[in-house]
Chain A
């Protein structure tokens, strides 16, 4: 076993060596511009791109022509939301999203608000799911778009996407979903799930960084979006800019691998995750799972270790790469807005750790992580005045703290 151990697969994933291998010929030999229509260099590049487009479309049950390549899921989210807001401005200006979306969605919505759009930010229920009745009630005549992520990047909670899509369809509202955490990890089908637009990225599914895609539905309904960059009119006019051919080829290969391995990996990661959870829960008291365990990505675990501050925990497990919902490092000192949206107190939000299991993790690593976590949590609790008070039976909610 090699240290450090990478268990932060919601942030990014290792590029699969098979993906790198598929990309390599497109740097030196097949370096052509996919838009060059009059020589073989261009044709070879275009073939690589179209093959990748098909591989990605196959992974999500779409048609190749519905895949628009971008530079990242952030760009895809911007393109989808701003593109729809602009294209459908005459029909309405109301957008519905959720408080726990990625900043690429939230800040895009805020940007549109400044330009006069109206945005509803739905709260979450305690388990991290969107209240569908609340969604129904929020749709108005002027609503043009609902943007709700497929699965959350911190707590791994999977939304009832199919039902959300059905509600949108019934009300004639477009439905966009940020699919980056879900696609390639769990079955996603744009037809069955009633998705009109979906943002994707290669680097969350063992592909390279710097390449993303937006699925844009062509039938029932035909979705139109305004391009957000002017230029050569690539990607059927929706996204200008010379295509990142090696990146796209890698993205395609990554998608094909995920498609092939999905069933096996889902089960393998679920078993590893449950093993980690069981070990932690059996050895440590006062641990709390954040978000639903039933509607959750199989490779995600988000746990709070009460009375132990997250950043100090990370420092103690510095040979393990995970992330914390505590934000003592940032100037704001505000803990995770996702955890707060679940109704979690700041005290518990400060003690949370996110584990993201991936293709290259082993059982041995999981055991190492569990043991190390237990050791460090126990050590820090010995150091924690809050743990001492809790053990003495003090009700911490009744203490008058001297907040600073």
Chain B
């Protein structure tokens, strides 16, 4: 099976690889998937608490090229968006952008799940912070 040019590009030059301090109150971490299934994605966002804008995003992915590309693309899209805008990102947009074939749609689903998990984690922390304050 041939990969699309965009998938190959993200695989060869993955954007925003790395990790942020998951204990930082402004960082939300989402980890989805399982090693037995052949993919695990870790996606992190760093949110500016004042503006609510995602100022940084990082990922690490264990999975096929399409899974790596989906999460790499997600980090690109997340930066500069507000948390609410980020919640709107749909897996189908990732499928279209990367021209994923049907057998790889699950990679995009996983990326959407990772985004939502990271935002949920961030919001949970924000609530905890405000309770503290």
B19: interface (CB < 8 Å) = yes
Interface string of B40-76 (1 = CB under 8 A from A): 1110000000000000000011111101100000000
A3: interface (CB < 8 Å) = no
Among B19, B31, B64, B67, chain A packs the most CB atoms within 10 A around the CB of B64
Interface string of B72-96 (1 = CB under 8 A from A): 0000000000000000000000000
Residue A384 contacts which of B3, B36, B60 (CB distance < 8 angstroms)?
B60
B33: interface (CB < 8 Å) = yes
Taking a contact as CB atoms under 8 Å apart, the answer to whether A309 and B110 are in contact is no
Chain B residues within an 8 Å CB radius of A347: 35-36
Taking a contact as CB atoms under 8 Å apart, the answer to whether B103 and A385 are in contact is no
A333: interface (CB < 8 Å) = yes
Q: What is the distance, in angstroms, from A395's C-beta to the closest C-beta of chain B?
A: 12
Q: Which residue of A lies closest to B66 (CB)?
A: A328
Instruction: Please give the number of chain A residues whose Cβ is less than 8 angstroms from any Cβ of chain B in the complex.
Output: 32
Taking a contact as CB atoms under 8 Å apart, the answer to whether B68 and A312 are in contact is yes
Given A308-B62, A315-B3, A404-B32, A383 and B17 touching (CB < 8 A)? Answer: yes
A335: interface (CB < 8 Å) = yes
Chain A residues within an 8 Å CB radius of B61: 383-385
Residue B37 contacts which of A385, A396, A403 (CB distance < 8 angstroms)?
A403
Given A326-B38, A330-B103, A385-B41, A402 and B65 touching (CB < 8 A)? Answer: no
Q: What is the distance, in angstroms, from A382's C-beta to the closest C-beta of chain B?
A: 7
Given A315-B64, A331-B103, A385 and B34 touching (CB < 8 A)? Answer: no
Q: What is the distance, in angstroms, from B118's C-beta to the closest C-beta of chain A?
A: 13
Tell me the residues in window 314-365 of chain A with beta carbons closer than 8 Å to chain B beta carbons: 315-316, 326-331, 333, 335, 345-347, 350
Residues of A within 8 A of B (CB): 307-312, 315-316, 326-331, 333, 335, 345-347, 350, 382-388, 396, 401-404
